[in-house]
Amino acid sequence: MSALREITLGQLLDETVANNPDTEAVVYVDRDFRLTYREFGELVDTVAKGLMALGVKKGEKVAVWANNVPYWVTLQFATAKIGAVMLTVNTHYRSHELKYLLENSETENLFLIGEYRDHDYLNTVYELIPELKVQERGRLKTNKFPKLKRVFYLGHEKHRGLYSIPELQAMASMVSDEEYKARQDELDPHDVVNMQYTSGTTGFPKGVQLTHYNIANNGYWIGKNQNFQPGERLCLTVPLFHCFGCVLGVLACINHGVTMVILEDFVPLDVMLAIDQEKCTAVYGVPTMYIAILDHPMFERFNYSSLRTGIMAGSPCPVEVMKRVMDKMNMKEITICYGLTESSPVMSQTKIGDTIRQMTETVGAAMPEVELRITDPETGKECPVGTVGEICCRGYNVMKGYYNNPKGTAEAIDEDGWLHSGDLGVMDEDGYLTVTGRLKDMIIRGGENIYPREIEEFLYTMDGVLDVQVAGVPSAKFGEEVGAFIILKDGADVTAEDVIDFCRGSISRYKIPKYVAFVSEYPMTASGKIQKYKLRDMAHEMWPDA
């Protein structure tokens, strides 16, 4: 019998509220904002009814352009309960990217905050949609975005042309419980509930359509593999607009009655404080986040004894960093997840009870109810055990498709239902997967295939190296040469020659970096993924005569 559930996100939340009414659901330490599951459920219903009262229909997109503010998770479930599609917007987007997203997605509703870091979101929206300042709210007509009907401000202040949160909540009284229930009864678990534009590490971002069934079930297994129990507490430091936040985080918690201790932004000191004060049992982050915590000068001042598990994901997890997290942060049961937005997102995960090798050197085995295989990129045939090829998956977690993009969908999902990741990996005889790089990241030097991950792992063992990324550098002679981009530990005195000497005799000559650059940071997407194609561009500028 299948362990998958035919359930909507609204039904899932109602179930958790009924089973854990007095357990805290959402906590913001910095402002002492706390809601129990009962209170959270009531707030979700109020906001959902307010959206209905304003005319938001089933299937309409509701874009949310905000960092991890308190109403973000409320909107995730309020939209789901009325059959709307929550469209998560990258917080790093600027005017051009927002315009592309609103046009491409045909969004009807937009929520936004005032500003984030050095960017004035309100001003950007007024420049893109000047009609907001002169037209009556709810009757928006703009030639640039003909589908857009309503814009909301994610706060209490009033702004011209925008509905505020208090106004939205006040509208809830106009919708009866019977109307609200009737709307929920119309919904199907296989309806699209979430849309995310892929980070755009290659090409133009595409709108990934995910269903209740996709992400509710994926969230269940993500939490199950960490042995989440009701009342445990997850410190959620990653962006909610990304799958890492809204599925691995929020939906794993909702499935298992876990408290979400949410940070608006990743600040290492705030994370350490939240873990200590709230006695968090789990914390999530990309490798660079864990490195920032471990190397923080105040690291030793905080207590990590409550920690047990969590997830490191988003980009390849260095073995040495994993070991330090397990040792220094007490996260003996930390897991690694691997996947992509198109796979809801997790297709493989390490589990509690795995060997140290499996926990640190692989990204785990296939998730329950998901098939995983390695295929030859040239022939499409399955590769034998131990052979590098493209990672593919098939199962309940495969997206419904890219929005209005049948060609892109057909390129990603083959006729047999296999989703092609574009990542390279190798599977061992136990079914455990090791990611070796992007299909496009693979360096081909004079006909030799070189996998960046292998060289990165080796260089991590060198004294003085804090972080390392390897990418191809264009070469007239060999097509490509190996380039290493290294962030050094504070005070480390390491030269390019030292790095090359360290490699000599330890790795194959053709794998030794010909070019070494010391950098302070890497080009990244907002969700923490390192953009290797930008490293290639940097290399071209640094070594034009390569």
| Fold of the CATH domain 443-542 | GMP Synthetase; Chain A, domain 3 (3.30.300)
Tell me the C-alpha distance between 481 and 471, whole Å.
9
Could you give the angle at the alpha carbon of 431 between the alpha carbons of 426 and 433, nearest 5°? 35
Tell me the C-alpha distance between 18 and 38, whole Å.
8
Strand partners of residue 194: 86, 210
DSSP string, 361-390: HS--EEPTTEEEEEE-TTT-PBPPTT--EE
Give the model confidence (pLDDT) of 457-482 as tens digits.
899 999 999 999 999 888 877 888 99
Give the model confidence (pLDDT) of 322-351 as tens digits.
999 999 999 999 999 999 999 999 999 999
Alpha helices (runs of H) in 329-441, residue ranges in sequence order:
356-361, 406-412
pLDDT score of 182 more than 50: yes
Tell me the C-alpha distance between 222 and 230, whole Å.
15
Any long-range contacts for 503-509 (C-beta under 8 Å, 24+ apart)?
503/458, 503/459, 506/458, 507/454, 507/455, 507/458
Four-point Cα dihedral 99, 102, 105, 111, nearest 10:
140
Full 3-state SS string of 118-165: CEEHHHHHHHHCHHHHCCCCCCCCCCCCCCCCEEEECCCCCECCEEEH
Give the model confidence (pLDDT) of 218-241 as tens digits.
999 999 999 999 999 999 999 999
Band of pLDDT at residue 546, cut at 50, 70 and 90: low
Pair of tokens at residue 522? 């890497």
Give the model confidence (pLDDT) of 238-277 as tens digits.
999 999 999 999 999 999 999 999 999 999 999 999 999 9
Residue 9 Cα distances to 16, 56, 67, angstroms = 11, 18, 22
Pair of tokens at residue 50? 């307010």
Q: Which residue has the tokens 């960017």?
A: 119
Pair of tokens at residue 19? 């089973």
Q: What is the average per-residue pLDDT within 187-205?
A: 82
Band of pLDDT at residue 293, cut at 50, 70 and 90: very high
Query: pTM of this prediction?
Result: 0.89
**The pLDDT of residue 456:** 92
Phi, psi of 519 (to 5 degrees): -125, 165
Band of pLDDT at residue 201, cut at 50, 70 and 90: very low
Q: Of the CATH numbers 3.40.50.740, 3.40.50.12780, 3.90.420.10, 3.40.50.10800, which one belongs to the domain with range 9-21+34-197?
A: 3.40.50.12780
Give every CB contact of residue 480 below 8 A, 6+ residues apart in sequence.
443, 444, 445, 472, 473, 474
Lowest mean pLDDT among 1-15, 181-195, 419-433: 1-15
Q: What is the average per-residue pLDDT within 159-181?
A: 98
**The pLDDT of residue 505:** 82
Band of pLDDT at residue 69, cut at 50, 70 and 90: very high
User: Which of 97-101, 220-224, 351-355 reaches the highest mean pLDDT?
Assistant: 220-224
**The pLDDT of residue 389:** 95
Domain layout of the chain by residue ranges: 9-21+34-197, 443-542
Structure-model confidence comparison of residues 543 and 101, the more confident one: 101
Are residues 113 and 154 in contact, defined by beta-carbon separation less than 8 angstroms?
A: yes
**The pLDDT of residue 199:** 56
Are residues 17 and 84 in contact, defined by beta-carbon separation less than 8 angstroms?
A: no
**The pLDDT of residue 246:** 98
Structure-model confidence comparison of residues 93 and 129, the more confident one: 129
Phi, psi of 469 (to 5 degrees): -130, 140
Q: What does pLDDT average to over the chain?
A: 94
Which class for 477: exposed (0-12), middle (13-18), buried (19 or more C-beta within 10 A)? exposed
Give the model confidence (pLDDT) of 383-432 as tens digits.
999 999 999 999 999 999 999 999 999 999 999 999 999 999 999 999 99
Tell me the C-alpha distance between 122 and 113, whole Å.
7
Tell me the C-alpha distance between 397 and 421, whole Å.
13
What percentage of residues in the chain have a pLDDT greater than 90? 81
**The pLDDT of residue 97:** 87
423 φψ region: left (φ > 0), alpha (ψ -120 to 50), beta (else): beta
pLDDT score of 1 more than 70: no
Give the model confidence (pLDDT) of 34-67 as tens digits.
999 999 999 999 999 999 999 999 999 999 999 9
**The pLDDT of residue 477:** 79
pLDDT score of 200 more than 60: no
DSSP string, 441-464: T-EEETTEEE-HHHHHHHHTTSTT
Are residues 135 and 126 in contact, defined by beta-carbon separation less than 8 angstroms?
A: no
Tell me the C-alpha distance between 368 and 244, whole Å.
19
